[in-house]
Structure 1
Amino acid sequence: MSYELTGKIKLIQDPQTFNSGFTKREMVVTVDDGKYPQEINLEFVQDKVSLLETLQIGQEVTVSFDIRGREYNGRYYNNLVGWKIQSASSPEASEQEYFSSNAAPAPQPADFDDDIPF
């Protein structure tokens, strides 16, 4: 199951590589939630670490992520594992906003007849 959140990047950690070869990188996104903004920690693993390379602190982003859970020594832990990031200022987002707000009316057939009885 996947989820999305939109907010501003507060922090991008350095990548961590472990002896097993596993690599992860974390970032914190501040999400407005009424009176009390929430600071959400997301992690990116293996090949998804590279998604954070071009991002800047303060940048508005939408992050797609999965929730992962596990048990360790009788305690339960959750992780938000990101797999896609879209910048609010990306050309794709701007193009989608432009076309959805400036949509032309649907073309009418040239032989449209107002005398149809239904």
Structure 2
Amino acid sequence: MEIIGIIKKLFDVQKFNSGFQKREIVLTTEEPYPQNILVEFIQDKIDLLVNIKPKDKVKIFINLKGREWTNSEGIIKYFNSIQGWKIEHYSRSTKTGDENKTSITSSSLSSDDFDDLPF
């Protein structure tokens, strides 16, 4: 899946004692009712954001993730996250109507990126 919009905010990298790290951004969509979408980049994917700054128009390739969690009272809750795995600067040419995309970085996907596939 992919989403196109303007970078509204870039948060600092969050590092955890376990070695896990992530960086979140807010992307504002360009539609009649713009949405502010929080997208997270995890582990080595945070390096994709090095050349990204607020107000850049980008296309982000995403995976939707969902998980179930049971709290201490035994109540089951569900959480969703949007994880970016590729990002490109995005512009539309007004002369030809063609889309011009400049890839920031492309990274190869490993089997870890698809750990929730049923096969």
TM-score when normalising by structure 1:
0.72
Alignment partners' CA distance in 1, 2:29 and 2:100: 21
Change (3 A) 1:95 1:59: closer
Offset, 1:83: 0.2
Deviations 1:43-102 (A, max 9, x none): 00000001111111000000000000001121100000000000015xxx6379xxxxxx
Alignment partners' CA distance in 2, 1:7 and 1:24: 21
Change (3 A) 1:16 1:62: same
Q: How does 1:88-107 map to 2 (within 5 A)?
A: 88=90, 94=100
Alignment partners' CA distance in 1, 2:42 and 2:101: 29
Indicate the structure with greater helix content: 1
Q: How does 1:1-118 map to 2 (within 5 A)?
A: 3-34=1-32, 36-73=33-70, 74-88=76-90, 94=100
Residues paired across the two proteins, number: 90
Cα RMSD over matched residues?
1.6
TM-score when normalising by structure 2:
0.71
Q: Is the CA contact (8 Å cut-off) linking 2:5 and 2:30 kept in structure 1?
A: yes
Indicate the structure with greater strand content: 2
